[in-house]
Structure 1
Amino acid sequence: MEPRGGANMHQSGTISIKRHENVLSDVELPPSKSHLIRWLLLAAQTEGKVRLSGVKGASDDSITMLKAIQQLGVNIDIESDSWTVHGVGPHGFQVPLNPIQANNSGTSFRLLGVALTRIGEPVIVDGDQSLRERFWHPFWDSLRVISKLENNSLPVTIKGPIVVRNITLDVSRTSQYLSALLLSMPALEKPIELSIEGSPVSQRHASLSFDLAALCGSENKLEKTILKPWNCQAPSNVEIPPDASHIAFWKLYENLHNCTLNIPTVNDEDALGAEILFNLDFKIKQKISLRDANDLITPLAASMAIGGGGEITNVAHARHKETNRIEKTVELLSYFSIKATATKDGLIVEGGQSPVKPSLKVPTFGDHRMQMTAVVLASKVGADIEGGELHRVSFPKFLDFFTHDVRSVHPND
């Protein structure tokens, strides 16, 4: 089991998609990589075995985390729909023989980067070009654990332990640095006091980290500014829920084809902000805040354009994803003759629009959610789309629903 992507393999290839003549009826969702990546780290720090179920069809990002945990000396039994992690406790990680490859996964890099500090020896971590461009050195500078860094980018050499007891944390870009600190507190001996700066974003993902940690013995609270060490003991059996953010693509499909799909159910508490999709009426003009669900911006903008239009707000942090998702959503949609306007913190979208078959190959900017939005739009009008493997970052089976419409994937296009 290997993620297809080191370097920039996800971005290679062109997908040629014809319009759907026979509309889909039953669709799937991948396992939630937000849950799975966090559970892998928690299970690895547990003394004993933890079985993670519901992992069939796991994303390349999740497999990247799995491989990295294995490199740290943690045995993991792989079955078709479960991974059983043989935890080594908070201090059982070994020095990896080779550099850790985080590929495209920002979550894996941030959680692993902090987790590696407990080893106390230099460890090299690298990623693909997209991840290299997303490296944000102020956080790592505050931890004082970077022993080698060139050009303020990956690869980076991390060497712990963490000795600072006061950290200034900017939560206006992402909540993942807070999650990274929390999930590695089992390996620390003393508390860390946080000075929080900026307006918090992606709070549902931060809450997820605190909720999962609580299931493993943590008494830390999201609203507190002190993180305390805790003894990590994960449940012996964990069920990974489906990834609700991908419902946005199937909602776009429904709006395009005027149909109703059988979409797997996701509980509100597992939806991580995507529950706003469950009761949206796309026919009316509306204003939607994506402060806690920035991953929805591109397919949601497309659905709003086809429907009643409106405005997407509170999503300035989407500029720091695989690409600037505000500006690039505007550009992507323009290839299908759909108009949207970027604002300081979101988009304004005119309603009542219809996609038109692009005359040029559609760029997807190395972003899997851009590629998947383009694929769904192309199911209505047809298109040639770059980034033949990008969907694998979060949903490896996604193109299976469009297989009969894929003419070719050119590995060197």
Structure 2
Amino acid sequence: MASPSVSPPRPWLAGRLQLPGDKSLGHRLILLAALKTGSLVLRGLPASHDLQASLRLVQALGVRVDAQPGRIELHSPGWRGLRAPDSPIDCANSGTTARLGLGLLAGLGLPAVLDGDPSLRARPMERVCLPLRSMGARITGGPGLPLRLEGGALHAIHYTLPVASAQLKSAILLAGLFAQGETRVTELHPSRDHTERLLDLESVSTDAPGRCLCVTRANLDTLCARLPEEIEVPGDPSSACFMVAAALGLPDSLLEIRGLLLNPGRAAALDWLRERGARMMSQIQEERLGEPVGDLIVSYTPRLKDARIGGALVPQLIDEIPALSALAMLRAEELFVEDAAELRVKESDRIAEIARVCQAFGARVEQWPAGFHLVPPPRPRAATLECGPDHRNAMMAQLIALGADGPCELRGRDVAAVSFPAFEFVLGSLLRRHPAPWQTPAP
């Protein structure tokens, strides 16, 4: 693979863009479309490897899928007409497909086998299987994939999440759509709330701490009636965070991002940057399926306050930590991350991979089981490194290379297609003083 490079001076970013649709919403809409009789058109979603895994799952259940660039049409016989898959469902590298798929399949009572690539097989699934088994689901295998579901009727449970996990919460809520009785899920710390917004769930008051969500079969009927025939999926804030990091890390940058998902639970990274003094302005323009959508303007900010991430903030911006690490490298500012043991069991050991990539560019990184301390050099040094296997860390490496003091060779950067296939193109279209440190023919 050709691996381009260019010498300084540093580029900057300028322009207006609309990012591909949010993947978290995309996964959920694909799975929920399988429950509604008839067609649903999703516009704006990227052709990411992760979303392809969710499309394979619903296809295996009997949903017809017509996927074209920027447009996916799903036609379902409705949840009563779905069938058991003929062969194991390949979730590839998508933990969202696997975990939400477990909840959906358990609720439907369909026998199935879920499998994935070696990376996904190594990721924990027992935390999802435990509550589903307590609802009556028969699941064998574990602690990771492959897992076999053998059908069976479900009953409601009252469950308190042991960790802040939107995937775990969503799996139980999806299963609860089909269970006898009222399923209650209590979360002590907030996590992404897309599933409950799509299901139009409201929290209920209890004497216990935390937020309690209730779901019954009535919510399934409400969902099927509520889903429109066509949805323009708003832009992905996790993808936007990489562009924001580049703009805040490269002097003279100014970006406007339109049609962006501005869900408060997904704005933690932006809020954290604002608290540090970043020049950003967002404005909600409309609401789609209970989700706020609007525009964001960000400009380079000369001074930011000290960077520390920990506590309840971590689960709200855990996917953005690679982008925020790139920002620290571009600005030569230290970054402390604590209480983030979950990073160890992402698509890779993300703490170790962040350390490896940043060290290749000259940083000092101290690791511990649940976090790290990043001490960047005055300017990232020219580096030759393998970007994979983690898609977010591959994008992080490309951002850091923008500020490097010499040519960089970044191999395997095409792994970014797992979540953001157009990453290089979008970033390159915004760069001024071309070329970027990796630009040559596409890998």
TM-score by length of 1: 0.81
User: What secondary structure does 2:80 align onto?
Assistant: coil
What does the per-residue CA deviation read over 1:330-382, in whole Å, with 9 as the maximum and x for residues that have no partner? Answer: 22211101223335543334467320112xx4244521111111112123333
In structure 2, the residue corresponding to 1:395 is in which secondary structure?
coil
**Matched residues in 1 for 2:113 and 2:124: separation?**
14
Q: Which position in structure 2 is the counterpart of 1:369? A: 392
Q: Which has the higher strand share?
A: 2
Change (3 A) 1:277 1:32: farther
Q: Is the 8 A contact 1:256 1:377 kept in 2?
A: no
Residue 146 (structure 2) pairs with residue 155 (structure 1): yes
Name the residue aligned to 2:35.
45
* Structure number with higher relative contact order (C-alpha < 8 Å, ≥ 6 residues apart): 1
Summarize deviations over 1:293-317 as a string: whole Å, max 9, x none: 1011122123124254343344332
Q: Structure 1 pair 164/355, CA: closer, same or farther in 2 (3 Å)?
A: same
Q: What is aligned with 2:197?
A: 211
107 and 319 in structure 1: CA distance in 2 versus 1, 3 angstrom threshold: same
Deviation at 1:286, TM superposition (A): 3.5
Equivalent residue, structure 1, for 2:85: 96
The one of 202, 212, 216 aligned to 1:228? 216
Secondary structure of 2:323's counterpart equals helix
Q: Which of the numbers 112, 127, 135 marks the counterpart of 1:123?
A: 112
Indicate conservation of the 8 Å contact 2:178/2:216, yes or no: no
* Alpha-carbon distance change, 238 to 300 in structure 1, aligned in 2, over 3 angstroms: same
The counterpart of 1:276, out of the listed 262, 271, 274, is 271
Equivalent residue number for residue 3 of structure 1: none
Q: Percent of aligned pairs with the same residue? A: 23
Secondary structure of 2:113 counterpart:
strand
* 1:379 matched to 2:373: no
Q: Quick one: structure 1 residues 351 and 378, their matched pair in 2 at CA, closer, same or farther if it must change by over 3 Å?
A: closer
Instruction: Write the distance in 2 (CA, Å) between the matches of 1:24 and 1:347.
Output: 29
Residues 219-298 of structure 1 correspond to what in structure 2 (within 5 A)?
A: 223-224=211-212, 226-229=214-217, 230=219, 231=221, 232-233=223-224, 234-236=226-228, 237-265=230-258, 266-269=260-263, 272=266, 273-276=268-271, 279=274, 280=276, 281=278, 283-288=304-309, 289-298=313-322
- Residues in 2 aligned to 1:223 and 1:195: alpha-carbon distance in whole angstroms: 5
1:393 to 418, 423, 429: 418
| Closer, same or farther: CA 331–261 of 1 in aligned 2, 3 Å | same
> Is the CA contact 1:248–1:277 (under 8 Å) kept in the aligned structure 2?
no
Residues 287, 195 of structure 1: CA spacing in aligned structure 2 closer, same or farther, 3 A cutoff? closer
CA contact (8 A) 2:103 2:172 kept: yes
Matches within 5 A, 1:124-203: 124-144=113-133, 145-149=137-141, 152-166=143-157, 168=159, 170-172=161-163, 174-194=165-185, 200=189, 203=190
**Equivalent residue, structure 2, for 1:9:** none
CA contact (8 A) 1:247 1:277 kept: no
After TM superposition, give the deviation of residue 168 of structure 1 in Å.
Answer: 4.8
Using a 3 Å threshold, how does the CA distance of structure 1 residues 379 and 60 change in structure 2: closer, same or farther?
same
Give the C-alpha shift of residue 121 in structure 1: 4.2
> Partner of 2:21: helix, strand, or coil?
coil
For normalisation by structure 2, the TM-score amounts to 0.76
Structure 1, unpaired ranges of 5+: 1-12
How many residues are aligned here?
386
